[in-house]
């Protein structure tokens, strides 16, 4: 099982999020596929899944309160939960400390 969304760094870069387009439960995606989109006051962006699997839960709270992502990107602002079809894909992803290091370097 994996929880997918965007990071605080990405939410901050987007600005105030005003709309979120999420998939239906049961949708299946391959790693790297777009599963939805976010729109902010600045831009619209597709959101891509880093792992393959089937959507088992969608955060319906984001429909009425998309800016939850800005306030709590990694807690209440999650987007989808997926049942992973290849859990080994997750092993290739950065952990939080490594991601934050990369994100910090992007700003310099």
Domain ranges of the chain: 2-106
Taking alpha carbons only, the member of 20, 25, 56 closest to residue 38 is 20
Tens digits of residue pLDDT in 62-101? 999 999 999 999 899 999 999 999 999 988 888 888 888 8
Instruction: Kindly state the average pLDDT of the residues 12-25.
Output: 95
Q: According to the model, what pLDDT value does residue 77 have?
A: 96
Tens digits of residue pLDDT in 23-70? 999 999 999 999 999 999 999 999 999 999 999 999 999 999 999 999
For the cut 70, the answer to whether the pLDDT of residue 108 exceeds it is no
Q: Taking the CB of residue 10, how many other CB atoms lie within 10 A of it?
A: 15
**SS3 state of residue 83:** strand
Element housing 17 (H / E): strand 17-21
Q: According to the model, what pLDDT value does residue 47 have?
A: 95
The CATH number corresponding to 2-106 among 1.20.58.1690, 1.10.150.80, 2.40.50.100, 3.50.50.60 equals 2.40.50.100
Q: According to the model, what pLDDT value does residue 94 have?
A: 84
Q: Tokens standing for 71?
A: 């306030």
Residue with tokens 């309160």, as numbered in its chain: 65
pTM score of the predicted model: 0.89
How far apart CA 108 and CA 106 sit, in angstroms, is 6
């Amino acid at each position: 099982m994996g929880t997918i969304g965007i990071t605080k760094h990405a939410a901050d870069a987007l600005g105030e999020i005003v709309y979120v387009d999420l998939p239906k439960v049961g949708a299946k995606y391959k790693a790297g596929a777009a599963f939805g989109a976010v729109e902010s006051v600045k831009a619209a962006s597709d959101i891509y899944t880093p792992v393959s699997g089937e959507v088992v839960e969608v955060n319906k709270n984001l429909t009425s309160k998309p800016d939850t992502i800005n306030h709590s990107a990694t807690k209440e602002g999650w987007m989808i939960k997926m049942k992973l079809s290849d859990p080994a894909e997750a092993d290739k992803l950065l952990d939080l400390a490594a991601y934050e290091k990369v994100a910090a370097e992007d700003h310099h």
